[in-house]
Structure 1
Amino acid sequence: MLPASSKMPHKQPPPPRKQSISMGRGARKRDEDSGTEVGEGTDEWVQSKATVKPPDQLDLTDAELKEEFTRILTANNPHAPQNIVRYSFKEGTYKLIGFVDQLAVHFTQVGNLIPKDSDEGRRQHYRDELAASSQESAKVVISETEILEEEEEPKEVEAGSQTDVPIVEASEKMAEEELMTPKQPKERKLTNKFNFSERASQTFNNPLRDRECQMEPPPRTNFSATANQWEIYDAYMEELEKQEKTKEKEKTKTPVAKKMGKMAMRKMTSMESQSDDITKVTQAAKIVERMVNQNTYDDVAQDFKYYEDAADEYRDQEGTLLPLWKFQNDKAKRLAVTALCWNPKYNDLFAVGHGSYDFMKQSRGMLLLYSMKNPSFPEYIFSSESGIMCLDMHVDHPYLVVVGHYDGNVAIYNLKKPHSQPSFRSSAKSGKHTDPVWQVRWQKDDMDHNLNFFSVSSDGRIVSWTLVKSELVHTDVIKLKVEGSTTEGLEGLQIHTVGCGTAFDFHREIDYLFLVGTEEGKIYKCSKSYSSQFLDTYDAHNMAVDAVSWNPYHTKVFMSCSSDWTVKIWDHTIKTPMFIYDLNSAVGDVAWAPYSSTVFAAVTTNGKTHVFDLSINKYEAICNQPVVAKKKNKLTHVQFNPIHPIIIVGDDRGHVTCLKLSPNLRKMPKLPRTMTRYNGCGRASLRRQPQTAAKTLPRRAASVRSGIRTPEG
């Protein structure tokens, strides 16, 4: 019989007291490690402890303690910068970055766990299995070799000759075990389909080759000859012999050929005689017509030549305009006068352009040239499909007239040619403006002595036109871009607002300098040499600029007029006007007088012509006179005659009125005592007049530069 204790396979538990003691010690030990000492019981935790208040604690009521405060947690990084700017090389400025990264990283740790199902996890598991199997096989081989060595030692002592047999048997057993153990397959590398490619290629670089060639110089020959009297005589004799031979050949022709040749000669001679007769008749008819007109308008011609208003002696600061001729044509009826220009060579001849300023009522255009010797009918008549908006006559070639059309084309008319079509004309194929051409102006010939003129249009382009081999070639001089109006379009493209050019004028002495007025009321000072920027910008008017004009004597002064009822006189070195005149109506055109630097004229849409003389009165006009009788008529343009004391005024009904200036309106500048006032013929000597006139305006302008005044002020 086994003892009772042996029947119980498990140990008895220790007494409960010892367990509780051990548990208390362990708990105390753990609490000591955590920094808190706990006794055997839990009564110490249940006991209430008195709270200690700091002396500066606030005493709050129950309502204040129960008050809820809302706290909003946002994902914004408080340390992230809010005003980061970066330089934009495209726009040339610093630009504010709108989006700032709000991600804040507090802790990062690189993990060492790999998912079992991933490719890398499977590869690692496979490597671990191979390593474990290799270690086990190595241990088995080592243990077997040790056992064999222990068995071989006593046998070697007994019989030294039989020591080789167990070694051979052991080696044979090891070979059999190696054959019986299966070979482990080689590790296969798993490829990533996303960054693995089985094929590779390399581009072929083309070989570089140098080829040289040498040109043969053109052959040269020396030529020399002399021109003597006998050589010239021999050349003439050879030409005479050739003519005699041709006459002999004509004599040997058949009679039919002779008759045909005679008929052709008769027709040619009849046509030549007829054209000669027509030219003779037309010349005689023109002389007779002028004689009839001279007799018909004899009183007007006498007033133009000799009449002077005697009342000017009693009014020092006032003048009048005497109406002379009125030019009109039935073909240009209801067409507005859009341009006026005197011929630079013939002082009695002027050109009139007819068109329409109404966008909804566009019609054909007319170019008429009138002479004061024949006010009843124009000397030249040219018609066009589109309205003529501007024109100009060449100074060196007074028979060439350039015009600008409403459809954006420009054309050159030659008065010497009998046909009515322009000699040269632009087209959509060769290049033209996309908006109406508001002004054209002839310029000096280029380096190759080709004719050259400029044009301005509402499409914002100042274009230079050159006549090269009977063809108009255009080049953009400058584009009118409104400053501060650049917007960014699709794909970062910069879109510029284009200014609409309405008028321009070129400086008399500085060849590259010119002014451009726009529909926005601004005046740009530009240069022919710089096409990307303006020399200066003037905030001139509140409405479209209708005309700008440099003073013919003072090189720094120019004048502008606008539809905002004002005429302003500027010094181009100062951005504020020197004189401002309010004419109580839209101003259509202004013009400087050719005989004085202080006299200018302006026409308004209420039918009045205003003449100013700054040397007499710099605040008001010395002449305000209505020219057209009807209120519906509007004056559009005015021009001074370069020699005679007259002006021509055009209206929107196609009429041109010629007016004579009274003596008070054409007072000459005061000459120094050392200069003679009259020459031997009794006429005023104007040899040094430009220098005298140029000194008058600066003295008047200097008196108002300290404070600008309007006529009403």
Structure 2
Amino acid sequence: MPPKGATKKQVGQPGASKAKQVGRPQRVSIAPGKILMKDDDDMTEAGDQGHGEEWMQGKTLIKPDDQLELTETELKEEFTRILTANNPHAPKNIVRYSFKEKCFKQTSHVDQLAIHFSLDGNMIHKDSDEARRQQSKQGASEAISEQAISEAGEEKKEEGEETEGEKTEGETEQPVEKAEEGGEKPEEDGTTPAPAAAGEQSKLTNQFNFSERASQTYNNPYRERGTATEPPPRANFSATANQWEIYDAYMEDLERQAEEKAKEKKQSSLTKKDDDKNKKKVTALETQSDDISRIAKAAQIVERMVNQNTYDDIAQDFKYWEDVSDEYRDQEGTLLPLWKFSYDKAKRLAVTSLCWNPRYKDLFAVGHGSYDFMKQSAGKLLLYTLKNPSYPDCIYDTESGVMCLDIHPEHPYLVAVGFYDGSVAVFNLTTTSSKPMFQSTAKSGKHTDPVWQICWQKDDLDNNLNFFSISSDGRVVQWTLVKNELTFTDVIELKMEDAPQEGPEGTQIATLSCGTCFDFHKKTDYQFLVGTEEGKIHKCSKAYSSQFLDSFDAHHMAVYRVQWNYFHPNVFISCSADWSVKIWDHTYPKKEPMFTFDLGNSVGDVAWAPYSSTTFAAVTADGKVHVFDLSLNKYEPICEQAVVQKKKTKLTHIVFNPDHPIILVGDDRGYVTSMKLSPNLRKKNPKKKEGIEEQIAKMNKLLDLVREPIDNNKK
């Protein structure tokens, strides 16, 4: 047996006391002559003070050197921290494209959920049908489970007795208490693990390892809910209808109708008085408007006379002035600026089209739109006259920008207009209505892209008016005015020569080129030229809708204008954004241009002169007008003159007057400038007119100079 002192030290060790505290509540037995105190000193003896001081010294607090010295107020100060459930790794700069606002916008809502662990288990509830089914299959009975529990309890008791015997040998001072302690342990230790052992045997697992949770959930029971409402009130009524009662009812109804008629008469008399007052006001306004309409023509004449007096110098220059300095300049001319036309509400819109009236030589139409396709707005159709340069004679507002227009050669009051949204319309200048007489819609076959050029043609076999239009959607469409409708017919589709692309399900999709301009032959009505955005010029016919008669690789960029010569039937001219102007002969077998001129900037428009087969003019994006006469100089322009004052202003269109020696030039700021050609730029003797044959011979002479070496090689 160990000495008594050893047992005391074992009781006094802090490690042993802590182990006992962790397990279960300890029992204390007091021996005679010894006083044990259960205190914070873990059952140390009261007499052994020296040993207590040794292990208590280990708990002394040592203050670090770098510890802050804080006052009591600072120690008592509270710092609040707010804990949020935001994910620190969640991005805060996610953007999404907004189709409504057409831009990328930052999303305010970000998913802050962070899943650290996720596992699909295969356990089932013990009260479920599946668990009961498995219990019945396993055949676990209650008797077998009780027998297993009792056997497990007996084994625990035997182990408890063995441990009790060992403890009684080791403890001599406390035999009674240790025996009691050893006798109680088997009861406690033997009974507590029994349910765990039984639980291990009766653990139910899903043998089929189902992963679907839908088949393992309860169906919510149906609930019925009903409400009771009060029945509607009922009343029983019975009466006998006699002849006099029916008569009295009819008489009451007649009296009521008579009272209502009397009330209506009073109200009608009041409304009549108000209507009479309104009529008097309307008649007064009508008489005023009638008075204005009576003097409208006279007022227009007076207005033109006032403007003629205001711009008397320009009117005199237009009628009589000739540049005398042309006599001292060889093969050079000048442009004299005349009137400048503008409208305040159209200054921000570019001049997209110009056209002279074929009957009234002083009247011309101007189309206003926008070539900046990111800033589209409403357009305007204006008609000016040289007799009144201060204000347009007619103003038509359009919902979409005007991109092109043309006036009918035989009916000068009909104006065909093409818009940016792909629709076309016909305006009647003789009516007071500001709306078009005809207009195409999506149902009536309008274009899907902007209409770049429009042109009237001769009446068809049924004497119906018709015109043609070309658009970026690759279609050339004929529009016919039939009664009150505008019917369309696709003349040709501008298919590209490349191989068709493969569409869904192996279909072949032919790509269409974008048409930008076209012009019909002056003598052969069915023949016309088409310029495309790819730089090609196609010779087409109204009779062939599936193929081109011929194609020219004309330019490297978009073709802005193509136009037949007024005199020579085989010659046409083209201009492009690649800074070049080219003159072609469509019968030339090599398909090469006869003349090529580089103007040093993008050429917006080109036009043949109506009085000479060898004279043409072009405008460029740097604000200059170039006038060429091939009979005088085949290499350089005979006039190159800047028209605009600001450097950034671009010239967009140019057109010759059919009778007078003036030209109109439009720019992208909404201004139209009229200029007079000097004598060197036009025929010198206006009284002596050269015939068509002389003009054709003049052009053939130039073409022979180009063709001569080729013809000799062929011979």
Please give the range of the TM-score, normalised by the shorter of the 2 chains: 0.5 to 0.7
Other-structure match for 2:679:
663
Q: Deviations over 1:401-444 (max 9, x none)?
A: 01000000001111001121111111112220000000000001
Q: Decide which moves more: 476-485 or 282-291.
A: 282-291
Other-structure match for 2:312:
298
**686, 693, 696: which one aligns with 1:694:** 696
**Letter in structure 1 aligned against 2:612:** S
SS at match of 2:706: coil
TM-score by length of 1: 0.59
Other-structure match for 1:609:
625
CA distance in 2, matches of 1:347, 1:693: 23
**530, 535, 553: which one aligns with 2:544:** 530
**Letter in structure 1 aligned against 2:435:** Q
**630, 638, 642: which one aligns with 2:654:** 638
Return closer, same or farther for 1:261/1:538 CA change in 2, 3 Å cut-off: same
CA distance in 2, matches of 1:534, 1:260: 70
SS at match of 2:392: coil
Q: Deviations over 1:424-474 (max 9, x none)?
A: 111112220000000000001111111100000000000000011111000
SS at match of 2:303: helix
Alignment partner of 1:434 is 2:436: no
Other-structure match for 2:159:
none
CA distance in 2, matches of 1:378, 1:490: 54
Other-structure match for 2:643:
627
**Letter in structure 2 aligned against 1:511:** D
CA distance in 1, matches of 2:539, 2:392: 38
Other-structure match for 1:119:
none
Q: Decide which moves more: 272-281 or 445-454.
A: 272-281
Other-structure match for 2:598:
582
Stretches of structure 1 lacking an aligned partner (at least 5 in a row): 1-258, 669-676, 678-682, 709-713
Q: CA deviation at 1:281?
A: 2.7
SS at match of 1:338: strand
Other-structure match for 1:315:
329
Other-structure match for 1:386:
400
CA distance in 1, matches of 2:695, 2:683: 11
**Letter in structure 1 aligned against 2:691:** Q
CA distance in 2, matches of 1:332, 1:281: 28
Q: Decide which moves more: 694-703 or 540-549.
A: 694-703
Other-structure match for 1:453:
467
Q: Deviations over 1:376-397 (max 9, x none)?
A: 0000000111100000000110
CA distance in 2, matches of 1:654, 1:272: 36
Other-structure match for 1:463:
477
**Letter in structure 2 aligned against 1:663:** P
Q: Decide which moves more: 430-439 or 263-272.
A: 263-272
Alignment partner of 1:684 is 2:700: no
**Letter in structure 1 aligned against 2:295:** V
**Letter in structure 1 aligned against 2:375:** K
SS at match of 1:363: coil
SS at match of 2:622: coil
Return closer, same or farther for 1:367/1:261 CA change in 2, 3 Å cut-off: closer
Q: CA deviation at 1:273?
A: 5.0
**704, 707, 712: which one aligns with 1:705:** 707
Q: CA deviation at 1:563?
A: 0.1
Superposed counterparts of 1:201-350, under 5 Å: 273-350=287-364
CA distance in 1, matches of 2:283, 2:399: 37
CA distance in 2, matches of 1:265, 1:381: 31
CA distance in 1, matches of 2:610, 2:499: 40
Q: CA deviation at 1:263?
A: 11
**Letter in structure 2 aligned against 1:325:** W
Return closer, same or farther for 1:633/1:264 CA change in 2, 3 Å cut-off: closer
Other-structure match for 2:104:
none
TM-score by length of 2: 0.59
Other-structure match for 1:373:
387
Equivalenced residues, count: 439
CA distance in 2, matches of 1:641, 1:647: 6
**Letter in structure 2 aligned against 1:618:** K
Superposed counterparts of 1:153-164, under 5 Å: none
CA distance in 2, matches of 1:363, 1:268: 36
Q: CA deviation at 1:286?
A: 1.3
Q: CA deviation at 1:264?
A: 12
Other-structure match for 1:592:
608
Q: CA deviation at 1:521?
A: 0.1
Other-structure match for 2:133:
none
- Structure 1 segments, 4+ long, off by >3 Å, are 259-276
**Letter in structure 1 aligned against 2:521:** H
CA distance in 1, matches of 2:643, 2:277: 61
Other-structure match for 1:540:
554
Q: CA deviation at 1:493?
A: 1.2
Q: CA deviation at 1:693?
A: 1.3
Q: CA deviation at 1:591?
A: 0.4
**488, 499, 512: which one aligns with 1:498:** 512
CA distance in 2, matches of 1:536, 1:492: 30
CA distance in 1, matches of 2:343, 2:297: 21
CA distance in 2, matches of 1:642, 1:417: 26
**Letter in structure 2 aligned against 1:643:** D
**411, 419, 432: which one aligns with 1:418:** 432
**Letter in structure 1 aligned against 2:694:** T
Root-mean-square deviation over aligned CA pairs: 2.4
SS at match of 2:583: strand
Q: Deviations over 1:317-356 (max 9, x none)?
A: 1100000000001010110000000000000000000000
Return closer, same or farther for 1:695/1:706 CA change in 2, 3 Å cut-off: closer
Alignment partner of 1:561 is 2:563: no
CA distance in 1, matches of 2:321, 2:499: 57
Return closer, same or farther for 1:446/1:275 CA change in 2, 3 Å cut-off: farther
Q: CA deviation at 1:262?
A: 12
Identity %: 67
**Letter in structure 2 aligned against 1:509:** K
Q: CA deviation at 1:261?
A: 14
Stretches of structure 2 lacking an aligned partner (at least 5 in a row): 1-272, 711-715
Q: CA deviation at 1:260?
A: 14
Other-structure match for 1:235:
none
SS at match of 1:285: helix
SS at match of 1:541: coil
Return closer, same or farther for 1:263/1:690 CA change in 2, 3 Å cut-off: farther
Q: Deviations over 1:227-274 (max 9, x none)?
A: xxxxxxxxxxxxxxxxxxxxxxxxxxxxxxxx9999999999878755
SS at match of 2:674: strand
Q: Deviations over 1:645-695 (max 9, x none)?
A: 000000000000000000000025xxxxxxxx7xxxxx6143x52222122
Q: CA deviation at 1:492?
A: 2.8
CA distance in 2, matches of 1:451, 1:278: 35
Return closer, same or farther for 1:271/1:445 CA change in 2, 3 Å cut-off: farther
Q: Deviations over 1:507-566 (max 9, x none)?
A: 000010000000000000000000010000000000000000000000000000000000
CA distance in 2, matches of 1:661, 1:599: 12
**Letter in structure 1 aligned against 2:553:** D
Q: Deviations over 1:597-642 (max 9, x none)?
A: 0000000000000000011001110000000011110000000000
Q: Deviations over 1:189-236 (max 9, x none)?
A: xxxxxxxxxxxxxxxxxxxxxxxxxxxxxxxxxxxxxxxxxxxxxxxx
Alignment partner of 1:479 is 2:498: no
Return closer, same or farther for 1:599/1:288 CA change in 2, 3 Å cut-off: same
